[in-house]
Structure 1
Amino acid sequence: MRPLDHIGVNELTKVPKTDGTRVSASITGSLLALSKRATSASTCSRSWPIQGAGLIAAIVALFAFAADAEASTYGVHECTFSGVGGPAPDAVREGTGGVGPAGYQQGNSCGSGLGYLETRSTQPVPAAAYGQWGFKAPSGTRMNRVTGSYSLYGGNGAGNFPYVQFNGQIAIGSTAGASGPFDTAPYGPITSLGAGITCTNAAGGSNCPARAEVFSSIFNLGFSMEDFVAPNAPVVGGPALEGWINGPRQVNFDVTDVGAGVYTGYTAVNGGIVDLELYCLPSLDNQGSATQLKPCPTNGSGSSDLDVSKDPFHEGENELQVCVAEYGQSDSQWGCKKEPVRLDTVAPIVAFSSKQDPQDPDKLIAPFADATSGVDGGSIDYRADGGEWIPLKTELAGDHLEARIDSEKLSPGVRYDFRATAFDRAGNVTTASLRGDGSQMSVVGPFRTITDVTQFRVNGKSRVNVGYKKGGVITGKLVGRDGSGVGGASVAITETFAPGAKSRVETLSTQSRGDGRFRAVLSPGPSRSVIASYGGDYRYLSSHSGEVKLGVRAKVGLNVRPHVQAGDAVNFTGKLKAKGAKIPNAGKRLEVQVKIGPKWKTVGKSTQTDRKGGYRLHYRFTAAYPEAVRFTFRTVVLRERSWPYLTGFSKKRQVLV
């Protein structure tokens, strides 16, 4: 439909008071006076006629003077003289066999001169047969009164009997001949009438012969119609009703009336008419009467483009009412449907919190407000040094947007900007880069406090070697950006053991004291490197120390007889200590050494332990000694890539030869 201000209507009355399903009007004369000029049959029209401004004014008047009505009434002319009623579109051939026997010939000359509907006897017909021109009231209507003229002639009809009937009962009949006006008023409302000829011979009797002089005709018919079934409430839908809206939208509707048919209608918002619809321009004669019993179609459809920027729309819920009127020249009945139109044209308000939570500075909070439809979602983004915006996972949490930035990803000294976007249920969007106090939501990264692990030592040093089965004491201090201690923090001590250890990595945990200092005891085992790391929390960033080294010397035992005669042999035996180490299947290489002067020399050649660390070296003293000689021996655990201990020595043993 076209907006009202496009067709010259500047001021509209309020819509009639209704019960939400039906309204009616008693002033329709001006409508009829205008619409009777239509030259076509009933059609659904999307545009107004040439005299549109007057027609619209009449429709508005129709609404303004509406009152409850139980039925609408209208007049119809069919088969009238001088072409007033034109043809008889509702006249139907009826009779035995559906359309009457072939012997009762029916003619329709309505619409030309002194036209009429005629039935004439032209051939023999069976007993009890009949043929007539009939009219039936459309569904949902009745004929309150029908006037017209008739002409009957029977003569020597030989059983052929001409008649006029109301509601299936013969009201006028004659064999001698009769003509004149008729009026159904004494009979009350009727739903059908007809005029024709019947063979009065009893069924099973002889046929009625052809009698060309026998005929029945009716013409100049006037119907006073009543539509007693109101239109159905329109079926309303379309984008305007699909939740909250923030701009122009269309509402669509389908309308139905089983009686006289859908005629006109309106769309109103909050009691003010915003659009009109003309579904039908009925065909009217020059006296203003319709030219058929159902002047308008049963079904129609229309739409209204709603301009929500103008009165009578307001923010929030608006009452939309779509109404349709059936055709009627008085007391038109209406069908109406109400639906809510939810309007929100104001964007939400959003801004970041004025300050970060000191206990959780990576949490980004952006409170919002929306007075009408409510915030439906949003997002928080950030960028570095004016680069591309990067979205953060954002949640709608009560009255604010919430996201989390990982300060680990923010480089110190780099400026980071943040923005929050909120949208409401109507689709209005707001983006803000300010805090609630008006300051820019920016940070020279990161949010969380930078930490560092300082003074990290093992046994007070960065590198230390200890004996077998000796551990170490780790000490250090966790500090913030300003050098103050970070207390109550969990510090992980990670030991990475040398190759060949059964366990490659082990971790133990300790906690910093109030001044940030921490301490941990390392268990005995293979050589290892050690670091301390702090995983960070909601307030502090993670950090880790440099590496300290704990070297552990190997340990091995040595047994040998203390006295031996020259020329005799001895066995050097012992066992390798290997806590936490994997002894290879081929054993660990060792050397038994003897001290010659200031140096140590290998006895024979190196030997291998067994898989359990035990070893045995057989040696014979073959030299001749002029006097007793005392030798000093030791076993050496050689350092190798795949062995997790430093070089180690057994206790010295002496042998007297």
Structure 2
Amino acid sequence: MSGRLAVGRTVALGILLALSALLLVASKAEAAKYTVAQCGWYVGADADWADTTGGAKFRSDGYCVPPTGADPFGGIHLKSFTRGSGTVSGTRFARWHWSAPPTTGITAVRGTWWHALHDGFEQRLGGVNWTGQFSPSLSAGNTDTALREFSIGFSSPLPAFEDRLLCARGEDKWCPLEPDSWSGLRAVTFTVLDDTPPTALMTGGGLIAGGWRRGNQHVVVGGADGGSGIRFGETFIDGSRVAISEYPCDKVSIGGEWRATRMRPCRTNESTTHWVDTTKLSDGPHSVVHCTADFAGTNVCTGSQQFLVDNNPPAHPRAVSLAGGEGWRRTNDFDLNWENPDQGQASPIAGAAWRFSGGLGFDTGARFAGGRDRRSLADLSVPAAGSYSLQLWLRDEAGNEAANSAVTIPLRFDDLQPKVAFSTENSDEQVKATVGDEHSGPASGQILYRRVDAEQWTELPTKFDSAAAGAAELIAPMPELGVGTFVFRADATDFAGNKASTTLRADGTQMAIRRVPPPPIARAKPVPKGKSRLFARLRGGHGRGDALTVPFGAPALLSGRLMRADGAGLGDRELRVVSRPSRGALLPAGVETVRTGEQGGFELRLLPGPSRRVNVTFPGDGGQEEARREGLELRVRSGVTLRARPRQLRTGQAVSFSGKVKSAGSPIPRRGKLVAIQYLEQETHRWRPVLVTRSDHHGRFRAHYRFRYVSGRAAIRVRATALAEERWPYAPGSSAPVTVRVQG
């Protein structure tokens, strides 16, 4: 027995050294491992005990957790004992069994063992492979009650570990149960490989629900792990940790190291809620990640998920304007427009909040009009006439709004007519009316009057005196009233455009004044007026008389005499001279005055211009009757110029005529002015036409003539004549003659 034990210990020591080397290599590979403490350090045992005889030949005994404050290793043990007397068949055993969680495996075991073994009994320590086969790594076959430490390493992870008390003989042999044999184990530490990563979860919550977020938001997180279980959960925003959860795990701190107290220390599924204070984040997009770690320290993170944050309310609306202006109006309809501030990275404008308040405690309370990037409010109305204050502020899509950023706009509505009434005080000097309007106030007014039997009202110069808020007076001078009854009317308008009229006094009586005619006065018979005689004629050029023709641009002289019927001259009398231009002239009728001399004579120079008719009138005075001289005709010849080129030519050649018709004070006819080119017939000394042409709209004309039948030498005198036409305010006129010499 002792020889086999020595050999067994030597073999076990070699195996232990080999396993230690493997453990060193494994540690360098930085595999995901954790340690489990059993039966020691105030820790119990996560193991099950069984024997192959059904409890008939073996029994167990375990004591692992002393009272608090006692020696944590005082008397602790996990033991298997033989039971009773008699024998037990070979290969029968009792065992303590530890199972690693699924997806994990035991890579090393260290602890303390001791035993009392007799007649074929052995204590064996070893792993159970994936097929359920037990392979001992350490074994002892004799009694050694000293506490001995051991360390076992496995080249590949194993799903279980066992401590067996075994009848180490063949099945056809047996081992005696007396004296008692037993095996002991304590202060065991398992190293478990857990290289299957956990799963990190982010399953919901307001933070990742979409849309814009503000304030405290939650995210539902968790993890799943089929091995050692979930120990930690951490939530990161933009790479910085904002929350951590340490889930409940069965563990103990030993020498500054956390060790599990169960083979699977943590739960396989965990879920919790992490709260995020978004006010500590900048406005705009952010990313959230949740990471989960199992007890072996393997850390896995979810994919990044974006969310949007906005904790700051929008600034106040810009460029706020009220359609129709902020003044008083008589239509209860208000439309508001504004520009939204630049939100930058923050959430877009989701709508506008508003409220308006007025007198007598009226307040609508806060109201909201939704709409992304809303820039207007239409069809607002107030409950009654009066002045109100509208407060307007903005709300973004995250729900942020600040009423203290509101812009205040006045809403002024007045659909009530002003109250107008004439004063009850009688005055011969002025007419007075009062105007009252409690809302927009009186703006203007007018006092009018008419005879009671007339339809047309006459305005009086009215003074508008705004004496106090909401009140004014209309004051007008009393007009010169004739005989009869006169009615007065007062019109008033307030600043909203409401109008009112009245013909009543404040006491409800008609504002009317009656004037009685004075007694008749005898009138003297009128003195008969003397008859007047007026003579007038025209002079100019080489002629004089009732009708006169002058060259273009020449003046004329009007002269004559004003006399009584007896032929005596009427001196220092004013005469009126009216000149009416002929049809087609642009000039209006001219009116001038001239005074007679001591003997009644007068002269007036008539300026150059188109043809005209001149009338002279004496309007009469206190002693003389009216006198007229009408129908004086002043005719003005047309002005024409003419050029001929060449001035010398042969028979068969053509001469070119050009010139211009002058038109002072008159437009050239639309179709042009008729012009005749004439030559002087020497035998009769008469001007004969050569051709007729028209000028352009500016009076310029051109024409050509070919001399075909001239023989010998001839000096031909030609001229241009502007002919008479309808709506041409000039008499026919000719240019100066031009001589053209033709060689036959």
- Shorter-chain-normalised TM-score: which range? 0.3 to 0.5
More strand by percentage? 2
For the pair shown, which has the larger CA radius of gyration, 1 or 2? 2
With the length of structure 1 as denominator, give the TM-score of the two structures. 0.46
**Higher relative CO (CA 8 A, sep ≥ 6), structure 1 or 2?**
1
TM-score normalised by length of structure 2:
0.41
